[in-house]
Structure 1
């Protein structure tokens, strides 16, 4: 079972290079929607964010991701993956905190294990070709100038490769 990180300062995290050789597969049911497959988002940078509703830093970071989604001026996809909770709990959580991106359900934690997530929140950033690019295993302020610069550099790099 993943643990929730105790950090409460969203600036605690940093995006670092994700050393994986290949992106693990990801195909999950969407909360109140159809199955979503990561392969369907090729051509766009993607943030894959693993979280749980019982994790305090996850709640704070979800608001930061939603702020990023609201200001994203280019093609960027955010996929939030809930780890191991029942649908009703997740649905109730987002009823009071709606977001602008899909919520996917990793009911049996199989995707979390495949992506080697050990703590929550954990996020991965993929380039336009869905190659591993960046990751953080700590809470992050997704609208900070440092993070926005890293995402912008990734978008530019993806366009020139």
Structure 2
């Protein structure tokens, strides 16, 4: 993962595959991972499984939002039916969120602290259950509210520079 030092994340308010719409602004209080993916992306499929294992490990300590980019709902629904996950799937039907977040490739993930301040990003597949990533995320989950977090840095991502 790479440091991500924007002052604030872009807006994110999207419809959910199953359930009410979610607005990132309402999730203040615990760290959030925003993950952009597509069902046709083989590395995305592997990473969703890794994020699901992370969700099980962290429980309610962090929120994971998976954002499907530009696909029809029926395709996403069939995909998730075959590969269920413990976190919400949001639908970026027109790719507007992808553009606002300056996502250049899939998968891409962004980590926010409990005050929704940007911390880290990754622009390639990541093993969310690897020891360095788990250590960094567990430290973020345990950080005091209002504390300025260190960027979650690991050698697991050798992707592009910060947006």
Query: Is the TM-score greater than 0.5?
Result: yes
- Aligned-pair RMSD on alpha carbons? 1.2
Q: Closer, same or farther in 2 for the Cα pair 1:73/1:35, shift >3 Å?
A: closer
SS at 1:119 equivalent:
coil
TM (norm. structure 2) is 0.86
CA distance in 1, matches of 2:121, 2:142: 18
Other-structure match for 1:132: 118
Distance 2:6 2:60 in 1: 25
Q: What whole-Å deviation, never above 9, does each CA across 1:17-62 have from its counterpart, x for those lacking one?
A: 1121211110000002211101111001000000000000000000
Normalising by structure 1, we get a TM-score of: 0.87
| Contact 2:115 2:145 survives alignment (8 Å) | no
Residues 53 and 156 (structure 1), Cα distance of their counterparts in 2 relative to 1, 3 Å cut: same
Q: 1:149 to 1:43 in 2, by over 3 A?
A: same
Matched, 1:153 2:139: yes
- Between the aligned partners of 2:81 and 2:59, the Cα distance in structure 1 is 26
Q: Partner of 1:111: helix, strand, or coil?
A: helix
* 1:29 counterpart = 2:34: no
- In the other structure, the counterpart of 1:46 is 32
Task: Flag structure 2 segments of 5+ consecutive residues without an equivalent.
Answer: 148-163
- The question of 1:141 aligning with 2:131 is answered no
Greater fraction of residues in strand: 1
What is aligned with 1:65?
51
Number of matched residues?
147
Partners of 1:116 and 1:132 in 2: CA distance? 14
